[in-house]
Structure 1
Amino acid sequence: MPTEIQHLVDELVAQMKSGSAPAYRTAIKRLADTARAGGPESLTATVEALAPLLPGLGGDFAMTAVLAGACVEWGASPTALVDVLPRRASEAMMLNEVVPEFWEKATRGRPLPEPASASTHQLVRTLTGLPRWRRGVDKNTMTRIAMSWFDMEDWLEALITVMPDAGFRAAVPGDVKAELCEHAAAVAHRSQRAAWVGALAAVLDDEPLIVIHPRASRGYALTMSGIGDNGQLHILLADRLVGDPGQGLVAGDRPERSWAEAATSGDPRLGPDNPAIRCFRLFDGQGTYISPLGMPADIKPLDGTRVLVLHPPKGNYALGVGRVFEHMMPTLRLDRILEPAETQHWLARLAPAVENDLMAD
């Protein structure tokens, strides 16, 4: 580790121990400026030095996680954060969920303070004064619960920065991703970042996908990774599958190149003048409509494999955004066109489409 980086990290730790918020902000800015000026090696060294500190931090000092995430955005390796940041963000959401309940018990209906640092001491003092912490919830845990009201967004911001990286997602254990989804769902009604974290934790990577076109009795085997929502999946499916029927592809008008670029590596915003128009309606193998507003993880497996069934579009359903996570690189690979016998195998197992969803028009 570069000596200067270690010195600045030590200074940051000293200022956190001192409890001086202004001195902490000065120290974190100096570390950020120095790490960024030093390039990838200094940035990675900074992340590696900060990662062990994160589990014990809270309140204003959670900005340390934001700096670690920023270093990754500037070019650092995120590897050192894999075993720390997802768990800490999950914990912050879990604790944040119970704050309103405890506050209600402590104040009998007084409005919760805004999640701004100026209100931190009031909320911590109120919750740690509850008798409850003496009955199984220790005072330190109650303090962390109170602090989560103010620091959760910092943990989520940092995690959102690193989760689009395919290698990082692959290294996060499945049970941790499941906990992130669970806790994100509990607080997503008051945090857009939590909703995004839940969506990122549910992203499928190296996931087999079977697509059946019943009208043409054709099927396709694909592999998908890093696709953030089903609107993006719609665009990529059309880009991969629409083409010359003589070559085994799906007949129809090829999607515009700008749509596919918006769904992969270009500007994700298509705008009102050039929205992507979906080429099909999608149903899963059990007949359930797959909305463009959902996620690939919503596609329920059939015989252990996610299956999509192509139906003709009804009307011009427009998509104004090609992808919801700008820095997450998707792939949808057409591995092969199924042999007729394989297609018939899947056709025999498909349930009829249940077209009772208004959005299925």
Structure 2
Amino acid sequence: MAGYPRVWPRSLVAAAVGFCVERGADPVPCAEPVLTGLREEIGAALECAARWPREKGELPEPDRAHIDRVIAVLGGDLLAVRLGVGWCGLQEWFAPALAVLRSAEVRRRHGAELLSAISELEAMDRHGLRPLRYAAAILDEPLTVLHRPTGTGYEVRIGGIGDNFQLHTLLAHVLIGGGHLPGTAPAAEAVRPAVDPAPATGPSGVTAYGSFDLRAPDGGTIRNEGLPADVPVVDGRRLLVLDHPSYRRSWNADRYFPDLPGSAELLRVLPAEEARAWFARTALDG
């Protein structure tokens, strides 16, 4: 599989690899050529944008229907073909990339490099890169979670969580549902879409309800629309503060990635002294 040919069908080979991963092939060896190819196409798309003449107006939509025009404007040579394919064919790499990024080991090995490659092109807002960014940024690590109203603290390992709506639901399930915090735990039907190992086959129609405000150690809001990776790192550990809910909020209980179940496991309840020490690292009183 290594060394895909540097021509248009590379994306078709990647799609075949992604198909195999979805049906049980090991994603770790498959990830290298898929994600390397994706990064190369991102680089080609960026160079295409840099070389596009201003007098020609805005670059066409990144779609194969426009590739002939892009190639012609860029000069019609082999480089123009390469850049045109990068701009117009990039989205064909998304499905195989998302297939291999379901693996925590793949994310550990390749996530940071892929995020770096994505950032500049995503700023152009032309290719719909959010799903790739969210997938590459998924955390598989412990969080230190502080509950401001009770002054208590917890160590929770999370994995496979696609956004903070899902994180919010699972923290409430583990901490309130587990009897560690006061409040109303999420209903079982609201938790199920977040953790079900089976791929989601369509909208669940279930509503989840918020239990907290999610806050950064400096007191700033961490939005449910964001990612667990938005939780700041303090002294080598991601530190999240749960506060009183400032208003009643609700959302669709479906997870961001239908094929990727999330998890949140309570590793330990922090001793009171340790919890106080973590609160002392925040701008919030415990």
Q: Above 0.5 in TM-score?
A: yes
Equivalent position to 1:151, from 89, 93, 102: 89
Equivalent position to 2:64, from 117, 142, 147: 117
Equivalent position to 2:12, from 23, 43, 63: 63
Closer, same or farther in 2 for the Cα pair 1:320/1:200, shift >3 Å? Answer: same
Closer, same or farther in 2 for the Cα pair 1:221/1:94, shift >3 Å? Answer: same
Q: CA deviation at 1:214?
A: 2.3
Instruction: Find the counterpart in structure 1 of residue 260 from structure 2.
Output: 328
Closer, same or farther in 2 for the Cα pair 1:191/1:113, shift >3 Å? Answer: closer
CA distance in 2, matches of 1:94, 1:181: 9
Query: Who wins on radius of gyration, i.e. which is larger?
Result: 1
Instruction: Find the counterpart in structure 2 of residue 203 from structure 1.
Output: 138
Structure 2 residue 148 is matched with structure 1 residue 214: yes
Q: CA deviation at 1:98?
A: 3.9
Contact 2:191 2:253 in 1 (8 A): no
Structure 2 residue 223 is matched with structure 1 residue 291: yes
Closer, same or farther in 2 for the Cα pair 1:234/1:175, shift >3 Å? Answer: closer
Equivalent position to 1:227, from 134, 154, 161: 161
- 2:2 aligns to what SS in structure 1? helix
Task: Say how many residue pairs are matched.
Answer: 282
Q: Tell me whether 215-224 or 335-344 shows the greater mean CA deviation.
A: 215-224
Closer, same or farther in 2 for the Cα pair 1:115/1:343, shift >3 Å? Answer: closer
Equivalent position to 2:75, from 128, 143, 149: 128
Equivalent position to 1:92, from 41, 50, 54: 41
Instruction: Find the counterpart in structure 1 of residue 237 from structure 2.
Output: 305
Q: Tell me whether 211-220 or 79-88 shows the greater mean CA deviation.
A: 79-88
Q: CA deviation at 1:297?
A: 0.7
Q: Which runs of 5+ in 1 are unaligned?
A: 1-50, 130-138, 354-361
The alignment's C-alpha RMSD in Å is: 2.4
Q: Tell me whether 160-169 or 150-159 shows the greater mean CA deviation.
A: 160-169
CA distance in 2, matches of 1:119, 1:191: 14
- 1:215 aligns to what SS in structure 2? coil
Q: CA deviation at 1:178?
A: 3.5
CA distance in 1, matches of 2:86, 2:122: 16
Structure 2 residue 195 is matched with structure 1 residue 264: yes
Q: Under a length normalisation based on structure 1, what TM-score does the superposition of the two structures give?
A: 0.71
Higher helix share: 1
Q: CA deviation at 1:229?
A: 0.7
Q: Which has the higher contact order (CA 8 A, sep 6+)?
A: 2
Structure 2 residue 254 is matched with structure 1 residue 254: no
CA distance in 2, matches of 1:104, 1:75: 45
Instruction: Find the counterpart in structure 1 of residue 23 from structure 2.
Output: 74
Q: CA deviation at 1:66?
A: 1.2
Instruction: Find the counterpart in structure 2 of residue 191 from structure 1.
Output: 127
CA distance in 2, matches of 1:111, 1:350: 46
Q: Which runs of 5+ in 2 are unaligned?
A: none
Q: CA deviation at 1:125?
A: 3.1
Cα deviation digits, residues 289-343 of structure 1 (max 9, x gap)? 1110000111111222111111111332111143101112322110010111111
Closer, same or farther in 2 for the Cα pair 1:264/1:175, shift >3 Å? Answer: closer
Amino acid of the residue matched to residue 109 of structure 1? K
Cα deviation digits, residues 105-147 of structure 1 (max 9, x gap)? 4xx2256445443543332233135xxxxxxxxx654432121
Q: CA deviation at 1:348?
A: 1.8
Contact 1:260 1:322 in 2 (8 A): no
- 2:203 aligns to what SS in structure 1? coil
CA distance in 2, matches of 1:116, 1:181: 18
Instruction: Find the counterpart in structure 2 of residue 7 from structure 1.
Output: none
Contact 2:42 2:118 in 1 (8 A): no
Contact 2:148 2:284 in 1 (8 A): no
